[in-house]
Amino acid sequence: MAGLRPHDGRQLAVSAAAYAPWRLGPLSLRNRLIKSATNEGMADGARVTDRLIEFHRRMAAGGVGMTTLAYCAVSRDGRTFEDQVCLDAQTLPRLRALTDAVHAEGAAACAQITHGGAFCFLPQLEERRYPLSARGGLNPPGMMIGRWFKRAATAADLEHLTTQFVNAARLAREAGFDALEIHMGHGYLLSQFLSPLYNQEPDARARARFPRQVLEAVLDAVGNDLAVLCKLSVVEGHRRGNSIEDMIQICRELEQAGAHQLVLSAGMNVEAPWTIFGNRLPVASMTAAAKGLFRPIAALMALRQPRKPFQPLYLMPWSSRIRAAVDIPLAYLGGVTSPDDVTQVLAAGFDSIALGRVLIHDPDLPRHWAAGEQAASGCTACNLCVASMYSARGTHCALTDQPVPAGFSHA
């Protein structure tokens, strides 16, 4: 980094703590910047493609401490889409190729493990007729493909699902991952248990019972070897979603269970996806890029999303409430766009910083910031990268539009 020349001759003061090595559970990281899990759209037929490997190698080469492979399903029925990585023995060699590529660039690799539950657009399920959720009955997301109903998970189902999370965690360890991020946000299965939108349990602690069970089982299986994180929606963006008081209670439950860090995200994929990104989504582009059944989903968003301008650090009002209530390490996510934002987040007591769109725009941003090369990201939060995840090419920045390197293919 010392060889990089400053942008416009300016040297910017960046908090030294952001670039110092630190400890996350059993894992040592070279800095506190993490590439957050963002759907890459590059797992053709559930395979780990060369493009997916290169995507994360570039993130590692750009200087993050850790990069996160998004949406690794713990079972084939746990996928939301057909083109989603499934953690099984068949994918192990290619997952190992991905972690080797990341490690060669000096970064750690994290696998985000998840189960879609009722948020499932697979044409056919292998284990059961209806997808599982915290509550049975009508399934609004599934109606878009003619799957009208979901089934409440039984005690036996919960034990089976817990075993699937544990098996996926062990396979991730075998594949060379250094950390796991259990996805408990955005409307996936564990989020469906946490949220009053899906779970009729009146108390947040009761709703957290199954997600906590999964966390404890994963920690027992791999917690001595891998850092185990949980990703949560601190605000769901829906009037019937969790309150901030509910989320504080849920975070305390996960802290007591022994999570190494919580990643504080927001929103629900179906009910309020714009809350995830802090501003409106480009519906026309999403509809144009979407294939088949995803077109009506994108069109539906156009009718519902509010007009809300993007603001840096847009999740700070909720995340700071969590920071004041728990002692567990926390990763701040949401609108970090400049070195000043990095300094402000660390000064507010957060332990690491999860970056998404700004790294899709420029994977080298951590190196630029550490060298004092530029004051702010060139990302405009246009969210066209969100639309691109549905395209044949996968997630990329519409502004920089970097071509796929020669020699890389869909295979």
- Which residues participate in catalysis according to the annotation? 188
Radius of gyration of the chain (CA): 20
In this structure, the strands spanning 137-138 and 27-29 are unpaired
- Encode burial over 273-305: b for 16+ CB neighbours within 10 A, e otherwise: bbbbbbbbbbbebbbebbeeebbebbeebeeeb
Selection from 104, 39, 153, 63 nearest residue 394 by Cα: 39
CA distance 232 to 38: 14
Q: Is the distance from CB of 112 to CB of 231 less than 8 angstroms?
A: yes
DSSP E strands in 108-212: the ranges are: 108-114, 132-133, 137-138, 149-152, 179-183
Cβ neighbors of 320 (< 8 A, separation 6 or more) are 348
Q: Is the distance from CB of 201 to CB of 211 less than 8 angstroms?
A: no
Q: Is the distance from CB of 43 to CB of 86 less than 8 angstroms?
A: no
Classified as helix, coil or strand, 141 is helix
DSSP E strands in 197-274: the ranges are: 227-233, 261-265
Q: Which two tokens stand for residue 397?
A: 């920045």
